[in-house]
Every structure is written in C-alpha cells, then in structure tokens.
Amino acid sequence: MSAQILDGKAIAADLREHIKRRVDELRAAGQRPPGLIVVLVGDDAASQVYVRNKQKACEHVGFHSELLRLPAATSQDELLALIDDLNLREDVDGILVQLPLPRHIDEDAVTERILPTKDVDGFHPYNIGRLVLRRPILRPCTPKGVMTMLTQTGIDLVGKDAVIIGQSNIVGRPMFLELLMARCTVTVCHSKTRDLADKLRGADIIVAAVGVPRFVKAEWVKPGAIVIDVGINRLDDGSLCGDVDTAAVTAVASWITPVPGGVGPMTVATLLENTLLAAELHAASDD
C-alpha cells in the first residue's frame, strides 16, 4: 500500500477562498472586515516565521490585521495592559499572543486575560471548558484543522481507535477532546507512556505531536492507518521534517500528511476561520 497524501496546503487554500468570499459579502453589506491583532514578544526565530504567515493569510482574505512587535524585555504588566486595551477595541475581533513568551512572563496569566470572545487561539479556560462539554465556540486551531483534514478523507471516524503522541495544552489535549467529540476511542501517550509501540500498533488514527524528528517508525503503524504529523523540526542542514518517518510510513498508512504542507497551513487557515466566527458573533451581539 502507498498512502494517499492529505494535502493541507490545498485544503487550506479552499478554506481561505471560502473565507475570502464571506469577507467580500460582509463588505458588500457595509460591514467592517474581521480584525485580528497578532502580538509577538521578543525575537524567537520560528515565531517570526509563524506570525508572518498569519499576517499574509489575513491580507489574502481581506481581514484587517496588525502585527504588534514588542521587545523581549516587555514586562508582564505592560503586556496585560496592552491586552486590556485590545479587549476594549471594537474593531478587534481576535487577539493572538504568539507563544512561547519570554520566561519572565506567565503564559497562563496572558491567556486568561484575553476576552474569551476574542480568544481566536481557543486557549482560554472558558473555551477549553466549552470543548470539554461538547459545546465548543472558539476551538484551538491545530486540532480543529486536523479534524477538517480527517473529514476530507471521507472516512467515518465513529468508533475508530485514535492514538495521540503528546499531551501539550496547544495540541495533544484539545486533540483528545476533538477526537472524543467525533466519537473515537482516544489514547493520549506522553514521555512516561509504557510500550508506546504496542499502543500505536492498534491505532486506526495516529496524531504525532512530540517534536522529535522522524520519531514514528513504520513498524509501529497498523497497515491502513491514517497518520497525521503535527511536528515541524528543523534539521542541521536547514531542511524541515516532521515527527513521522514519512518515507517509510507512507508504504504502510492509508493517508498521511506531508511536512511541510500538511498541518501547518491548516493551522493558519483555521485561525482565519476562528477570526471570522468571532467577528460574526460580535456583529450578532451588537444587533
């Protein structure tokens, strides 16, 4: 078997076109475009690339977007005061503070300061709680984007055994909630998990979010499994690779996401989707 490629770049492009049309409709009806503010504190190299991609995507679909770059020495109080201002601004539908933050800033305090209705990352405890209760509003972008990709396979997810590797707040945990909501039976593995290979061998769906280059080996993958690679690792030669040994696993899986061009573009497109949703909810609450 040779896996079909789950083309995140193409699915994201479709999603962006859909969002762009909706923005055009809003403008035609005399409404302002959705507004997203991205806040970058410091000069982390990977974060610079990510926020640039988010900016470009916003421009493409016609959102109003601003990138606020703050020095690494910005205090927590200064950042919280900025968020308070953005929370009050009527032209701002979404606020995204790029993570990681410098170590002197408490990420939880920052995440919780953003109004839940403007939390387009879906990281606020209110939005995570809604997802736990199966009544989500703004959902974390990477797991939601993965669900959009899984839907594109046309495979019925109900009752499937899914294994997630990684338990982060950004990916692993909300991914667990998404797959559970789709009625999969979900296992979350992490650095203390025993017999990881055994757990993976039973999986119909594998989501790898470990941050270790080519960690998932072909021998661990059940023939016909769907393999989603959330990893983006930069190798010494400057090239990118995921958390899955893609070349070998492609011979075993039914579907696989490439890196780059898989989950990454879907995360950005889903951020746009969330910002549009936030804008529509804000507009409805003004009516």
Annotated catalytic residues are 54, 98, 121
The region of 95-103, 150-158, 228-236, 275-283 touching ligand GUN under the rule CB under 6 A is 95-103
Q: Which of 13, 68, 80, 99 binds ligand GUN (CB under 6 A)?
A: 99
Q: Tell me the C-alpha distance between 160 and 155, whole Å.
A: 10
Q: Which is nearer to ligand GUN, 254 or 274 (CB)?
A: 274
Q: How far is the CB of 146 from ligand GUN (least distance, A)?
A: 12
Q: Which of 92, 101, 170, 184 binds ligand GUN (CB under 6 A)?
A: 170
**Cα maximum dimension of the chain:** 58
Closest residue to bound ligand GUN by CB: 99
Q: Which is nearer to ligand GUN, 141 or 200 (CB)?
A: 141
Asked if 101 is part of the footprint of ligand GUN (rule: CB under 6 A), the reply reads: no
Residue 65: closest CA among 251, 256, 271 = 271
Q: Which is nearer to ligand GUN, 96 or 165 (CB)?
A: 96
CB-CB contact of 205 with 184 (8 Å): yes
The region of 14-22, 94-102, 179-187, 228-236 touching ligand GUN under the rule CB under 6 A is 94-102
3-state secondary structure of 255: strand
Burial readout 35-47 (b: 16 or more C-beta within 10 A, e: otherwise) = bbbbbbbbebeeb
Binding mask 130-149 for ligand GUN (x = CB under 6 A): -----------xx-------
Asked if 37 is part of the footprint of ligand GUN (rule: CB under 6 A), the reply reads: no
Q: Which is nearer to ligand GUN, 1 or 72 (CB)?
A: 72
- Provide the token pair at 270: 């889903």
Residues in the chain: 287
The contacts of residue 178 (CB under 8 Å, 6+ apart) are 131, 139, 143, 144, 146, 147
CB atoms within 10 A of CB 20: 16
Binding mask 267-286 for ligand GUN (x = CB under 6 A): x-------------------
Terminal Cα distance for the chain, rounded: 54
Burial classification of residue 284, based on how many CB atoms lie within 10 Å of its CB (0-12 exposed, 13-18 middle, 19 or more buried): exposed
Q: Which is nearer to ligand GUN, 33 or 174 (CB)?
A: 174
Q: Tell me the C-alpha distance between 119 and 269, whole Å.
A: 16
Asked if 96 is part of the footprint of ligand GUN (rule: CB under 6 A), the reply reads: yes
Which stretches of the chain bind ligand GUN, using CB under 6 A?
A: 96-99, 121, 141-142, 170, 267
